[in-house]
Structure 1
Amino acid sequence: MTIRAADENDGSVLLQVKVSIVGSEPVIWRLLEVDSSLTLDNVHNIIQTAVGWRDSHLHSFTDTDPFVRLRAVNGQVPEPRRWVSEDLLEDSDDDLPETDWRLGQVLTPESGPLFYEYDFGDSWIHRVELTGSLPRPSGAPRARLLDGALRAPLEDSGGIGGYHDLLDALANPNHDEHEDLKAWVTWTAGPWQEFDPERLDIDDVNHELALLFPAPSANEPGPGSESLIQELAHRLPPGIRRDFRSYLAAADLDGPSTVDAATAEAMVAPYLWLARRIGGDGLPLTAAGWLPPAVVHEAMTELGWAKNWIGNANREDQTLPVLQLRESAQRLGLIRKIKGRLVLTAALKRLLDDPAGLWLILARALAHRHRHDSGRDAVLLLLLEVAAGRRTVWEDYLDAVAFGLSALGWRTRIGAELPPETVEALLHEPREVLSNLGVFHDGGGTQTATIVTQPGQSFARAALHS
């Protein structure tokens, strides 16, 4: 989410605000400078970003301590004020719209603290205290983290008591649920940042806060100017986005994204063989629409696939390596089927003697050609993992992509997280392409081990930069 920059002459001040999670021990806290003119919906985004939540639950603000019983004044118990999002306003006549109230209106030296509740099930209560103020200099950040301690609790860990119990269990290898909880933490924290309850990177937080309030610029990037992976990052919830950007930095996406001519020719060999075999005049298919048996046999022999194949290897419908190669070449826009013949696209005709150019075209096609947006996101997440080169078994790639798709909001029609078989299906075709290119050691497409080669990492970087 991006928030429009303020008018530099709006007369606002910077409020120094301490946000602490009630009941945490040791205290999880943040000290912030926040523009007093910001409305509470923006303050919600700031707290989410600064603390490290994932903005996946409801929230509200109130000016009354939820742990203190209100006393009657002149025989009447005062009604606490509560500010909520538009979604919650539909079900209430008493709540106030958080979009209409500025922080400076509700948090003053006379008002006492605010209380921000996140996730009405786990009930994470944040005490928001005013500790000082100063005039806002021209150009000063509208929100900045000054100091703090500890990372945010894990979402859905059962409130502050449940989170403390979780930390105790993780610290005790003899705990009955130690291993199960470790696995749950690994999945919940995600593949991009190892869970560390002590971790707080102030620079990372301030980078994300700055992205909420981009300075006006005549040279501001227009639509479509972001890289594929940057666009993906901007769609993630704040707490996950920080971890994702840290992972991007460690993945060295600015590393080599080209290969020498000989390596390119070796990698694109299956596609180049098929293109040259089709030739400029095209290749007639059988009456049933398959490659001729002689061509299937040639492919299996000349590409070195026959030695690991059981059977005659001369019928395309029964020879998966050739069938998958032909189908992926069609999906990637390299060849077309017209009137019973396979023909080369104009772009591929120009690349029959340019393996390096074909290598780059394949990288671009893998990143950009997709049937559905979910498939696009799955491919980009897979390419990121390939570029990072950290995973060694296919199941780890699946877990990382599944987590990313969930974080991006992909769900089944009934609102459930995507099951493993759906994620596997989304990655089936791109995995075939990567396997054809020799991106993985041991063949990748048929082996459990999927260790990435250095040229494979370069291919993934080229795809992500395309």
Structure 2
Amino acid sequence: MVRPREGRKSHLMAVPDSRDELRSFLAAAGRGRGRGPRRDAVVGYELRIELGGVTPTVWRCVVVPSTTMLDELHDVVQDAMGWVDSHLHEWRTAADASAPAAERYGMRLVVDEGDHPIDACESDVRIDEVLAERGDTLYYEYDFGDRWEHRVVLAHVVDAVPTPLCLDGERACPPEDCGGVPGYEHLRAVLGDPRHPDHEALRTWAGDDFDPDLFDLDAASAALTARAEIRRHSPPRGTALAALLARIPALYAPSLYALLLRARLSSDDERVELPARDAEGMTLLAWLLRRTGADGVPLTSSGYLSPAVVAEAREVLGPRYAWAGKSTRELDNPTVLAIRELAQDLGLVRKYRGKLVCTKRAAGPRSDPDALVDYIAARLPLGADEFEREAGLMMLLSVAADADGEEQRRAMLEAATALGWRMGDGEPLTAKDAVAAAGSNRRILHHLGVDLGFGTMPERRPAVVRELARRALRGPSR
């Protein structure tokens, strides 16, 4: 036994061994619960979400599947309450809002930065790990400046639901950036007093339609339904696009999310059977690999394909390639030249002793069109920096969704603006700037047969290239 130091009182407490008693014991000690085991069966969790410190109370009642991850629950809180997801957030398990947190769960970008003491990423924690029985509580803080504290209580365990539902609620969510609880109290007081000198200014700032005592259940339900659709069509977790979308609120980039719903990127979607001849760039690339074969094809002394090989390539392209004239010099045939250079850039062919030869990487893609699509998809998006790769992801999404040029430009500009991108001189981006940021990704898609819609030509989105974009965005094949 350890003898207590002189002058200090010592209290011994028996630690209970039952689950319920242990939880009560920890709560009494000022600590919350950490993560527990997940439920074996899926049930519904009826949650009461209450905004702390605000009088009269702002609350919502929602039902979510017990398999909901905390990053998904974040979306539910945002949509049901009426926030616009423009600030950071964090989860805490604690006996009460002021008690030391047992565990903290943060956003992926906060976890990756490593500057804050976070126990786990919210996308790795399931709600039934932290809420198990009626009365269990979780705290959600939104906007570390205004510090909006939400108390999330498991009110009832009910039958399973396929998607989140909003059942009830009272009063409007405070406007974003109103200064937290003190600022909101001041705002309510001023809006309620037409004679106040700041009444007109704050009414204009808050909006004529803002009524602090009004809760629109239909609007909250519609927001949750729209979010469920986005989740259903989203790319698998862990992909580059999923990480990018996590940084772009749907409210600020509706055109981008409209493309997401059309792109069919969910892990439940099947791979599309590739058409035999659909995009001239893909057709010519596949032909070049077969023609090069194991023995290679001759090059001129200047390092270009021989006229005889160029003539064969022109036959593959067919009569619609007559616009290039009759020359069989590779320099006079831009499509042939671009595809040969693309094959080199992709590491499928190389120049060796006066010939163009296939590399070892070309063994599968040379004989299997599906393997060729997978090979290219695995290398996209390209980019010398993060901006080019992320713009490439946006462009790939527009191709996967079969978007026309105007849709693509609008979606990419919205997304880039939501991400806070600016020109080097600090000026805002234009739609043309956002598309140009895709760089080498734009060039590859163009060479493979995609008209990116910058002129007056009709839009073309070959099915094989749309499938290539889908595979690139969904990550490695399952």
| TM-score, scaled to structure 2 | 0.51
Cα distance in 2 between the residues matched to 1:406 and 1:380: 15
Give the CA deviation at 1:257: 1.0
Aligned positions of 1:207-356 closer than 5 A: 227=236, 231-237=240-246, 240=249, 248-253=260-265, 254=269, 257-261=272-276, 263=277, 268-292=282-306, 295-296=309-310, 299-300=313-314, 302-303=316-317, 304=319, 306-309=321-324, 314=329, 316=331, 319-338=333-352, 341-349=355-363, 351-352=365-366, 354=367
Give the CA deviation at 1:343: 1.4
Q: After superposition, what is the alpha-carbon deviation per residue over 1:211-254, rounded to whole angstroms, capped at 9, x for unaligned? A: xxxxxxxxxxxxxxx84785522443477369777864554342
Cα distance in 1 between the residues matched to 2:79 and 2:382: 33
Q: Which runs of 5+ in 1 are unaligned?
A: 35-40, 62-80, 86-96, 100-107, 109-113, 169-195, 210-225
**8 Å contact kept, 1:59–1:118:** yes
Match of 2:222 among 166, 182, 200: 200
Structure with the larger RCO, 1 or 2 (CA within 8 Å, 6+ apart): 1
Match of 1:397 among 389, 399, 408: 408
Aligned residues: 358
Q: CA 1:55–1:454 in structure 2 vs 1: closer, same or farther (change >3 Å)?
A: same
Give the CA deviation at 1:351: 5.0
Cα distance in 2 between the residues matched to 1:314 and 1:264: 26
Counterpart of 1:381 in structure 2 is 394
Identity score, percent: 28
Q: CA 1:292–1:368 in structure 2 vs 1: closer, same or farther (change >3 Å)?
A: same
Tell me which amino acid in the other structure corresponds to 1:392: D
Q: Which runs of 5+ in 2 are unaligned?
A: 1-33, 40-44, 65-70, 92-97, 105-116, 120-134, 179-183, 185-201, 211-217
Match of 1:16 among 38, 42, 48: 48
Cα distance in 1 between the residues matched to 2:327 and 2:173: 59
Give the CA deviation at 1:359: 4.3
Tell me which amino acid in the other structure corresponds to 1:282: G
Q: CA 1:313–1:47 in structure 2 vs 1: closer, same or farther (change >3 Å)?
A: same
Counterpart of 1:177 in structure 2 is none
Cα distance in 1 between the residues matched to 2:355 and 2:259: 46
Cα distance in 2 between the residues matched to 1:208 and 1:21: 32
Match of 2:470 among 447, 455, 461: 461
Tell me which amino acid in the other structure corresponds to 2:249: I
Give the CA deviation at 1:365: 1.2
Cα distance in 2 between the residues matched to 1:311 and 1:155: 64
Q: CA 1:202–1:315 in structure 2 vs 1: closer, same or farther (change >3 Å)?
A: closer
**8 Å contact kept, 1:364–1:463:** no
**8 Å contact kept, 2:274–2:370:** no
SS of the residue 1:368 aligns to: coil
**8 Å contact kept, 1:33–1:145:** yes
Counterpart of 1:452 in structure 2 is 461
Cα distance in 2 between the residues matched to 1:42 and 1:457: 28
Q: CA 1:153–1:366 in structure 2 vs 1: closer, same or farther (change >3 Å)?
A: farther
Cα distance in 1 between the residues matched to 2:304 and 2:249: 47
Counterpart of 1:105 in structure 2 is none
SS of the residue 2:351 aligns to: strand
Tell me which amino acid in the other structure corresponds to 1:382: M
Tell me which amino acid in the other structure corresponds to 1:403: E
Cα distance in 2 between the residues matched to 1:386 and 1:154: 37
Give the CA deviation at 1:338: 3.7
Pick the structure with greater CA Rg: 2
Q: After superposition, what is the alpha-carbon deviation per residue over 1:368-396, rounded to whole angstroms, capped at 9, x for unaligned? A: 2454363443333333322322x222x42
Counterpart of 2:109 in structure 1 is none
Q: CA 1:165–1:14 in structure 2 vs 1: closer, same or farther (change >3 Å)?
A: closer
Give the CA deviation at 1:331: 2.4
Cα distance in 1 between the residues matched to 2:333 and 2:415: 34
Tell me which amino acid in the other structure corresponds to 2:410: D
Q: After superposition, what is the alpha-carbon deviation per residue over 1:51-84, rounded to whole angstroms, capped at 9, x for unaligned? A: 46564446899xxxxxxxxxxxxxxxxxxx9x9x
Cα distance in 2 between the residues matched to 1:300 and 1:32: 62
**8 Å contact kept, 1:336–1:342:** yes
Give the CA deviation at 1:327: 2.0
Cα distance in 2 between the residues matched to 1:445 and 1:15: 49
Does 2:372 align with 1:361?
Answer: yes
